[in-house]
Amino acid sequence: MGTSTMNISAALVKELREKTGAPMMDCKQALAESKGDVEGAIVYLRKKGIATAAKKAARVTSEGSVASYIHAGGKIGVLLEVNCESDFVARNEIFQGLVHDVAMHIAASDPKFVRKEDVTAVDFEREKEIYRAQAASTGKPANVVEKIVEGKMSKFYEEVCLLDQPFIKDQAISVGQLIASTIGKLGENISVRRFARFKVGDAGETIALTKPAAEPQEK
């Protein structure tokens, strides 16, 4: 039986995180896949492109591509901007394929934000209070209620944040992991800047914009 993420020690996760710069959950998954072997986990992350993506995350993405996607039947349309570091990569078939796939995913999955950091304070507090009220109504102790709320918020991010959503063409990975894998292949930082989604008959539209890195986050 493989090692699960539940019995991977925090110290081991920290060690892998320090060596690769990969996100904590990706480190846990990599260690689970490698049965606790750090070197094996590093290889796993490199294959996925996650370690490379983390190291390049701070690099400026001033080039890129704006693409549109119209779903069959013309009822849903998406306009998307994805950035990279050079015009050379922006014209690369792999990058263009990524942009197309992300636009198609947005059309199908209707995310409301790019990243969890982009969720507004109003939306965050509203959802948290709803989940807290629901959990409290069960009569469970306060500490259990908070754990339930935490789990519900993680699910909320998966539902409304583009990078946290399971990728429609491969539910085993998130859109964020898809982008990380492409970063590993192309060797440049890649980021989703913004998107807009329109659906015939809807009163409004979804317009999402990544917050500037220097802007303080609410959470």
pLDDT in the model for residue 92: 94
Our separate counts of H helices and E strands in the chain read 9, 6
Q: What is the pLDDT of residue 10?
A: 84
How large a percentage of the chain has pLDDT more than 90?
35
- Band (pLDDT 50/70/90 cuts) for residue 9 is confident
The residue length of the chain stands at: 219
Q: Which of 95, 72, 118, 107 is nearest to 186 (CA)?
A: 95
Record the tokens describing residue 188, joined without a space.
């440049």
pLDDT in tens, 191-205: 999 999 999 988 777
Q: CA-to-CA distance for 5 and 2, rounded, in angstroms?
A: 10
* Domains of the chain and any CATH numbers: 5-48 (1.10.8.10), 63-117+161-209 (3.30.479.20), 120-158 (1.10.286)
DSSP-derived 3-state class of residue 210: coil
DSSP string of 63-120, one letter each residue: EEEEEEEE-TTSSEEEEEEEEES-HHHHT-HHHHHHHHHHHHHHHHH--SBSSGGGS-
Categorize the per-residue pLDDT at 64 as very low, low, confident or very high, splitting at 50, 70 and 90: very high
* Tens-digit pLDDT profile for residues 88-130: 999 999 999 999 999 999 999 999 999 988 988 888 889 888 8
